[in-house]
Amino acid sequence: MKPNFELQWVITEHYEGLSIKEFLKEKEISRIALTDIKFKGGKILVNNTEVTVRYVLKKDDTIKVVFPPENPSEGVIGEQIKLDILFEDPFILVVNKPAGMSTIPSREHPKGSLANALVGYYEKIGIRATSHIVTRLDRDTSGIVLIAKHRHVHHLFSKQQQNGHVKRTYEAFAEGSLKLEFGFIEEPIGRRPDSIIEREVRNDGQYACTAYKVLNRYKEFTHVELELKTGRTHQIRVHMSFIGHPLLGDDLYGGNILLIKRQALHCKKIHFLHPFTGMEMNFTAPLPLDMKEIVKAAL
């Protein structure tokens, strides 16, 4: 088993004179995380000596924060499911999720989810962590998913999401022919009152904005690229259905299932800033085989 998740810094003149509590606040370590460190098995070390958050930092001090061990999610059984890993480092995972795999277990699908696969993968490589999935996809949507390998990393990504620094681009096949080559769909989305699952455009819903661009036109559908400006549940599917162009295969929102049996939607690109280096990170995943075959047949 690998050691607990930890972070380390060497103190520069800029931080000299701050208490550890003030310093860690600047590093966006939450009060909840500090409480866990204090009471659940973590520790704070300065020059390899354990200290409290009241310690006043001096130039060239080496501060190490050791987080308490995480327990895998209750009820999520680790499974040895092969992951298509696009990138991995000590902090994050970027994977290409196939259609038909749930992001997290549900009553209908308690096994075989991405979360099950992650717990199994962590067990295999000796990481004691739960599944912190930053960007979720619907069960039948394929493509890129961003995962944090620790609770604190997830916290940092949540801040990025709030500031619009995590950006996802999708490809989809929409029924019919869109009139415009590009545009925005700005319509509020809320839950349908008679359904647990379905969403709809409604006046009392949450603000939602989807940008789209036509990539190609075929006899029965339009190949579009879409970017989420907000992150509402089923946003692309609801917005495309609302403008009269439901996604192929999306029978929940009026799509035809003759060409494909799941919504023809794929998260092809993700952009974010690495939570510790600040570097811009970009990853892409090609269209899956079932969507490629539809294009091939339409030519």
Active site residues: 138
What is the Cα–Cα distance from 227 to 250, expressed in whole angstroms? 19
Q: Helix %, strand %, coil % for the chain, to 5?
A: 20, 30, 50
What DSSP designation does 19 have?
B
Q: Which of 124, 126, 83, 74 is nearest to 103 (CA)?
A: 83
Q: Which residue has the tokens 């075959």?
A: 293
Would you list the DSSP string of 92-140?
EEEEEEPTT--SS--SS--SS-HHHHHHHHHHHHT-----EESS---TT
What is the Cα–Cα distance from 167 to 284, expressed in whole angstroms? 12
